[in-house]
Amino acid sequence: MMQPRISFQTARSMLLDHVSPIHTESVDLMNARGRTVRESVVSAGHVPPFDNAAMDGYALRAADAPTVGAVLPVAFATAGGQSVPPLPEGACARITTGHPLPPGADAVVRKERTQRRPEQHIRFDVVPSPGQNVRPAGEDIAAGDVVMEAGRVVSPAAASLLASVGHTQLTVAVRPRVLLLITGSELVDATALPSAGQIRDSNGPALALRVDAAGGRAHARRAPDDTAALHDALASAPPADLMLISGGMSVGDDDLVLHVLDQMGMELLFHGVKQRPGKPVAFGVLDDRPVLGLPGNPVAAAVCFEVYARPALAAMLGRSTVLPALDTAVLDAGYRAKAGYHYFTRGRAWVDDAAQLRVRPTGPQGSGIASSMRDANCLIHLDEDGTDPAPGQHVSIQWLR
């Protein structure tokens, strides 16, 4: 019989002890958004590669315009995408933003601070200082700089740097294959019209989307609460790096999943955690693969995904940050919580006019109230020692993406 004996922190540590980084593949930068880089990327060269103009104007030696009103002849104009000749002594060159600074020049005066004079001469209305309006080579990235560290996720901003250094093939973690087995005799596909006593499967789509967002690839199957059917579904499933099973984890007559997994040889590591919601959550290892059993209640399944499955996937992907970052917020409205359980309360957090992060629970918190999850932007954590948190109290929150 299930006795929730272990704490949430112990349970999660046990789970993370049984997952390891998955193998890698090479992907093109254009297909790399959201992928986890597994080899640090070091720049071979400088970005920008050459000293260049930060403004449209005139390149010169600052020493050639020591007083306001200095007049210099224009030796040439720079051209885009081409190398630039050296700047003759005592002359200036017309230059466009981003073009290479002519060798010898050390400053650029913006066009608005100059006046044209007859016969290709320019009067300088300001006294430039060396380096003014010049973007030096390597200002953004120097040769040898780490552009992207292993374990980071490719974002559009990262793509900018990777493209600048010409790193267009990336070694990334393979997306873990996640088998989603959705169990329950009462369930029909969300596209079907339920008959009396049936309900639509909402965990299948919800968990599939969560897996996708967490970097995995989900394959969903459904099975009724029947020993033979559950066995068949598990035995015939394609190989998976992680198995997520929804429903049938509790101690009712229909809760057969762990029994079937036991028959198949799964080593059960925990069943029952001192947490709410999600007390019946279970974890085991079958054929060296992690198996996470989620309670069928849609809210409990979602919460357990966020606090167990998402970190497990992050660890498989080799991410440098596996556990969700926690923030501290001031509780705006109290709620009931019994000692001895780690509570995950769906919350809505915001920054108030005094720049204080505040949070309040999203209305009714029953395990069947899926709208409490829809309206939440965070989970409020309250560990086993806390009881009935009161308004004004500081609490930890985990952001939901």
Q: Which residues bind ligand AMP (CB under 6 A)?
A: 182, 184, 186-187, 199, 201-204, 246-250, 252, 295-298
- How many residues contact Mg ion, by CB under 5 A? 4
CA-closest candidate to residue 401, choices 369, 380, 382, 379: 379
Task: Say if residues 13 and 270 touch (Cβ distance below 8 Å).
Answer: no
Give 150: exposed, middle or buried? Use CB within 10 Å, 0-12, 13-18, 19+: middle
Q: Which residue's beta carbon is nearest to the bound ligand AMP?
A: 296
- Give 246 or 372: the residue with its C-beta nearer to Mg ion: 246
Minimum distance from CB of 268 to Mg ion (Å)?
Answer: 19
Tell me how far apart the alpha carbons of residues 344 and 304 are, in angstroms, rounded to a whole number.
9
List Cα–Cα distances, 189 to 42, 143, 200, in angstroms: 48, 55, 6
* Residue among 250 and 362 whose Cβ is closer to Mg ion: 250
Which of the listed partners (ligand AMP, Mg ion, none) does 182 bind, with a CB threshold of 5 to 8 Å by partner kind?
ligand AMP
Phi, psi of 233 (to 5 degrees): -60, -40
Rule CB under 5 A: choose which of 247, 293, 295, 318 binds Mg ion: 247
Burial class (CB in 10 A: 0-12, 13-18, 19+), 134: buried
Count CA atoms closer than 13 A to 94's CA, side-chain side.
12
Residue 21 phi/psi, 5-degree rounding, is -60, 135
- At closest approach, how far in Å is the CB of 261 from Mg ion? 15
Cβ distance to ligand AMP smaller for residue 58 or 308: 308
- Calculate Rg over the CA atoms of the chain: 31
Residue (106 or 255) nearer to ligand AMP, CB: 255
Residue 91 touches which member of Mg ion, ligand AMP, none, C-beta under 5-8 Å by kind: none
Smallest distance from Mg ion to CB 189, Å: 17
Using CB under 5 A as the binding rule, whether residue 280 contacts Mg ion is answered as: no
Q: Which is nearer to ligand AMP, 133 or 250 (CB)?
A: 250
Question: Residues 100 to 119: which contact Mg ion by CB under 5 A?
Answer: none
Q: Which residues bind Mg ion (CB under 5 A)?
A: 184, 247, 254, 296
